[in-house]
Amino acid sequence: MTASTTDQPLKKEQGAAQQPDSVLLHPTHEDHHIARMAAVALGLTVLENAIPSPLPGVKPGLANIVTLIVLSRYGWRIAAWVSLLRVVAGSLLFGSFLTPGFFLGLAGALCSLVILALAQHLPARWFGAVSHSILAAFAHIAGQMGVVYVWLIPHSGIAYLIPIFATAALIFGTVNGLIAARFMDNHDSPSTNHPAITDESH
Amino acid sequence: MIAGYIKPGDWLLISLAALAVVALTMTLWRGEVAEQAVIRSAGKIIHTVPLAVDQEIAVAGPLGTSIITIAKRRARISSDPSPRQYCVRQGWLQQAGEIALCLPNQVSVELTGKHKKYDSLNY
């Protein structure tokens, strides 16, 4: 399932020789790390499901904060693992695995990841977590609406809902991006950035 | 303090996204101006009248006569013999796509624009 088995081919062969009937997976440090991150994201998903939503599909997407932080700290590959693990494990947790809702979430997550793969190459000097978050949020609703249109409701009437979802994407995308940026803010605090920004504007 | 976490490119992207949302809303939610009223009795179109002309139209149905009033580019069913009076209480119709149905008397008024948009909306 993961790259871990190829990391330690020698150990695996030994294990296979001793116990031919069992397959031993040796999770690497990275696997543990991914699992921990996915667990945090999962926690946020559970939290978020407790929040009532005015319209199905309008959710803050708090778990994406974790994806954004992982993307900026550990790269896209790990972020993809965390995001997809969260989608699958979350659906198992809520009993929605392989339901339409699961596929909507999966489509949204995949679209977000594709956009993030491109967005991570934006110059970091100008674009931060907020940009990544907004782009990912819009990609998410685009993916969802695509699946809804192709599979669930093939009727142009769903276009009527797009402004609602787009507004939610803008708001929640910005807020999640800000939270992610706040978490990643270690030493280059905003107070040192601030004078530079105000200097430019004057 | 919050602004410190938003880089210049982020501001640009937020603005672009906001513009996109406004543009989407305006294109997708633009209620079309109603041009004419389509009056049906027993499912058949019996009159198609422009909203520009103020008038009253009497339509006969199985229960009696329904009276449709058109005034100030609006239309309503002002009188109907149906027992629950749903279509009368619906009041004035103004936008394209709005419709008032008097099922017992099998009379309906629908406002249409230049071209018809949705037959129905399901959610």
Contacts with B23 from chain A: Cβ below 8 Å: none
Burial of residue A98 (number of CB atoms within 10 Å: 0-12, 13-18, 19+) = exposed
pLDDT of A192 strictly over 50 = no
**How far, in Å, CA of B77 to CA of A62, rounded?**
50
Binned at pLDDT 50, 70 and 90, residue A77 comes out as very high
Higher pLDDT, B28 or A78: A78
Contacts with B32 from chain A: Cβ below 8 Å: none
Question: What are the tens digits of pLDDT across the range B46-95?
Answer: 989 998 889 999 999 999 999 999 998 899 999 999 899 999 999 999 88
pLDDT of A81 strictly over 70 = yes
The reply to whether residue A128 touches residue B6, judged by beta carbons under 8 angstroms, is: yes
**How far, in Å, CA of A129 to CA of A65, rounded?**
9
Q: What is the pLDDT of residue A201?
A: 38
Q: What is the pLDDT of residue A36?
A: 95
Binned at pLDDT 50, 70 and 90, residue A54 comes out as confident
pLDDT of A102 strictly over 50 = yes
pLDDT of A194 strictly over 60 = no
The reply to whether residue A170 touches residue B13, judged by beta carbons under 8 angstroms, is: no
The mean pLDDT of A154-169, rounded to a whole number, is 88
Q: Does A170 lie at the interface with B, CB-CB under 8 angstroms?
A: yes
Q: What is the pLDDT of residue A1?
A: 47
Is residue B48 helix, strand or coil? strand
Binned at pLDDT 50, 70 and 90, residue B118 comes out as low
Q: Is this structure's pTM higher than 0.90?
A: no
The mean pLDDT of A40-48, rounded to a whole number, is 94
**How far, in Å, CA of A67 to CA of A63, rounded?**
7
- The ipTM value here is 0.75
**Residue with tokens 């009056």, as numbered in its chain:** B39
Task: Of A63, A59, A71, give the one whose Cα is nearest residue A40.
Answer: A63
Q: Cα distance from A185 to chain B (closest Cα, Å)?
A: 8
- Least CB-CB distance to B28: which of A129, A159, A191? A159
pLDDT of A71 strictly over 60 = yes
Higher pLDDT, B25 or A10: B25
The mean pLDDT of A4-16, rounded to a whole number, is 49
Q: What share of chain B is helix, strand, coil (3-state, %, to 5)?
A: 25, 35, 40
C-alpha count within 13 angstroms, C-beta hemisphere, residue A8:
13
Question: How does the average pLDDT of chain B come out, rounded?
Answer: 87
Q: Where are the alpha helices (DSSP H) in chain A?
A: 4-7, 9-18, 29-49, 63-74, 76-94, 100-119, 129-147, 162-184, 190-201
* Residue B122 CA from chain centroid, whole number: 16
Question: How does the average pLDDT of chain A come out, rounded?
Answer: 84
Strand partners, B32: none
